[in-house]
C-alpha cells in the first residue's frame, strides 16, 4: 500500500541483555509508532520472541540448540504480543499478529494471502505485527534477526519507507567503539563493495543480526524501490525525525520504482533450480539493453532444471547477474549453448528460442533495465 511505513525493531532494542521483555522500551516504541499511525498506515516487524521466552523457560542463557530456541520462541511470542497489545491499547490501537517463514514468500499463493491479511488489518485500522515463525523455522538465522524479513515485507506492501531501528546511529566507516576517527555515513545511493566491506558484525548477545544483515536488507529494499533508514530511535520524537529525513542514522536512497509482485517473487522469493554462465555480450543485453537471453550468450550450464524453472544467471567472474524463468531443459541448453538462434532451431526442438524471455527476467546486479520496473 502506498505511503505505508514499515518499522523494524530488533531483539536488543526490546529485551534486556539477560533476556526477558523490557516493557518500558516496548511502551516507548509503541508511543513513537502511534505518532506515525495517526498520519498513515504502519506495519511493525519485530524480533525478540526467543529472547523474551528463554528466561521464562528456565534457561540461564540464550539457548543454542534448535529445539530449545523453538520452545523459547513459542513461549516468548505470546509474551511479546501481550506486551504489544497492552502498549498499543494505551494509544487506542489494536494489533494483529502475522508469523511468516521464508517458505511463505517462496509460495506465491501463501504470500499473496499474507499480503491481503495485512491490507485488511490496515483497512480496519489495526497495526500488523510481523515476526518470523521461529517455532517451525529450520534456520532461525535466515532472516538475519528479521532485517531481511522487514525488507521483503516493505517490498511486498510497496512501502514508502523502511525504518530499521538498531542500537547504533547508522553505518560508520569503521567501528566507532574502537576507532575515534570513524565517521558516520549519512547517505548511501548504491551498495557496492566498499559499503559491504565496512559493514560490521553483531554486537549483541541477545539479537542475531548485525550491520551486515541490515545492509543486505537495505539492498533488497532499494532494489524494490523502497528507501531505507538504519539508525537509532532512543528519545521521544526520534522516529518522526527518521521518517522526516533528519534522523540519527544512515539513509539508503533509491531511484528505482516499486517492483511488481511477479518480479519480487522471481528475484527474492523463488528457489533457483540451476545456474548458467553467460558472456559479456549477454550481460550487456540483459542488464543495459533490457533484452531476452539467447543461446549464443550461454557458456556454461549447471544443475538439472526443466522448462518453467527459475535459474540464476552469472557472468564469467561468477558474479550474480539476475534470475529468470528458463525455456529449456538443462540438457537442451547444454546442447544449444553458444549456438546461433538459426542453428538451435535446426538441431533442437524448443517451444521458444529465448533461453529467458525479458518478461520472465529480473536483474539483481547493477541498474535495473526498464522492463524490470513497474509501469
CATH code for the domain in which residue 367 is found: 2.30.130.10
pTM: 0.82
**Residue finishing a domain among 197, 228, 262:** 262
**Residue finishing a domain among 244, 262, 280:** 262
d(C-alpha 178, C-alpha 326), whole Å: 49
Tally DSSP H helices, then E strands, for the chain: 14, 13
Whether 267 is in a domain gets the answer no
Residues 164 and 202 in one domain: yes
**Residue finishing a domain among 223, 244, 262:** 262
Residues 203 and 103 in one domain: yes
25-79 tens-digit pLDDT: 999 999 999 999 999 999 999 998 988 899 888 888 888 888 898 899 899 999 9
118-137 tens-digit pLDDT: 999 999 999 999 999 877 76
Domain count, the chain: 2
Whether 93 is in a domain gets the answer yes
Residues 19 and 145 in one domain: yes
Residues 58 and 152 in one domain: yes
Residues 345 and 217 in one domain: no
Residues 186 and 236 in one domain: yes
199: domain CATH number is: 3.40.1160.10
Q: Share the mean pLDDT of the chain.
A: 89
Residues 202 and 276 in one domain: no
152-210 tens-digit pLDDT: 999 999 999 999 999 889 999 887 888 888 899 999 998 888 887 877 544 444 433 47
Q: Which of 17, 15, 134 is nearest to 71 (CA)?
A: 134
Whether 230 is in a domain gets the answer yes
Q: Is the pLDDT of residue 21 over 80?
A: yes
b (16+ CB within 10 A) / e for 7-32: bbbbbbbbbeeebbbbeebbbbbbeb
Q: Which three cell numbers stand for residue 168?
A: 547504533
Residues 319 and 258 in one domain: no
Residues 209 and 308 in one domain: no
What is each CA distance from 211 to 62, 130, 165, 168, 300, in whole angstroms?
21, 21, 11, 9, 35
Strands (E) across 93-217 are located at 94-100, 126-132, 161-165, 187-188
Whether 83 is in a domain gets the answer yes
Residues 68 and 119 in one domain: yes
Residues 244 and 282 in one domain: no
243-278 tens-digit pLDDT: 999 999 999 999 888 888 888 889 888 889 999 999
Residues 175 and 241 in one domain: yes
235 secondary structure, DSSP code: S
d(C-alpha 175, C-alpha 183), whole Å: 9
The pairing of strands 126-132 and 94-100 is parallel
3-class DSSP state of 63: coil
Structural domain including 23 reads 5-262
304-344 tens-digit pLDDT: 999 999 999 999 999 999 999 999 999 999 999 999 999 99
d(C-alpha 218, C-alpha 206), whole Å: 22
Amino acid at each position: 500500500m502506498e505511503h505505508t511505513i514499515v518499522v523494524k525493531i530488533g531483539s536488543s532494542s526490546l529485551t534486556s541483555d539477560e533476556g526477558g521483555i523490557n516493557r518500558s522500551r516496548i511502551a516507548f516504541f509503541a508511543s513513537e509508532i502511534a505518532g506515525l499511525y495517526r498520519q498513515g498506515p504502519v506495519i511493525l516487524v519485530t524480533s525478540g520472541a526467543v529472547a523474551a521466552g528463554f528466561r521464562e523457560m528456565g534457561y540461564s542463557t540464550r539457548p543454542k540448540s534448535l529445539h530449545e530456541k523453538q520452545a523459547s520462541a513459542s513461549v516468548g511470542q505470546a509474551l511479546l504480543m501481550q506486551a504489544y497489545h497492552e502498549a498499543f491499547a494505551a494509544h487506542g490501537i489494536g494489533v494483529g499478529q502475522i508469523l511468516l517463514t521464508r517458505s511463505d514468500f517462496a509460495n506465491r499463493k501463501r504470500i499473496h494471502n499474507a499480503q491481503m491479511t495485512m491490507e485488511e488489518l490496515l483497512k480496519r485500522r489495526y497495526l500488523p505485527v510481523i515476526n518470523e515463525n521461529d517455532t517451525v523455522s529450520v534456520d532461525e538465522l535466515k532472516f538475519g534477526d528479521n532485517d531481511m524479513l522487514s525488507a521483503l515485507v516493505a517490498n511486498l506492501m510497496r512501502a514508502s519507507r523502511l525504518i530499521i531501528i538498531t542500537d547504533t546511529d547508522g553505518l560508520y566507516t569503521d567501528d566507532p567503539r574502537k576507532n575515534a576517527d570513524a565517521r558516520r555515513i549519512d547517505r548511501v545511493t548504491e551498495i557496492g563493495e566498499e559499503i559491504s566491506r565496512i559493514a560490521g558484525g553483531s554486537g549483541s548477545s541477545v539479537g542475531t543480526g548485525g550491520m551486515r544483515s541490515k545492509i543486505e536488507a537495505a539492498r533488497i529494499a532499494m532494489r524494490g524501490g523502497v528507501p531505507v533508514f538504519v539508525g537509532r530511535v532512543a528519545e521521544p520524537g526520534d522516529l518522526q525525525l527518521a521518517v522526516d529525513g533528519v534522523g540519527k542514522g544512515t539513509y539508503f536512497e533509491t531511484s528505482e520504482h516499486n517492483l511488481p509482485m511477479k518480479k519480487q517473487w522471481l528475484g527474492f522469493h523463488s528457489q533457483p533450480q540451476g545456474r548458467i554462465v553467460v558472456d559479456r555480450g549477454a550481460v550487456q543485453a540483459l542488464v543495459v539493453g533490457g533484452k531476452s537471453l539467447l543461446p549464443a550468450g550461454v557458456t556454461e550450464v549447471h544443475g538439472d532444471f526443466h522448462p518453467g524453472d527459475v535459474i540464476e544467471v552469472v557472468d564469467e567472474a561468477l558474479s550474480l547477474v539476475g534470475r529468470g524463468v528458463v525455456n529449456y531443459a538443462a540438457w537442451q541448453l547444454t546442447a544449444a549453448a553458444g549456438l546461433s538462434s538459426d542453428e538451435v532451431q535446426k538441431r533442437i526442438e524448443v517451444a521458444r528460442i529465448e533461453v529467458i524471455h525479458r518478461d520472465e527476467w529480473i536483474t539483481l546486479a547493477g541498474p535495473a533495465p526498464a522492463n524490470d520496473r513497474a509501469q
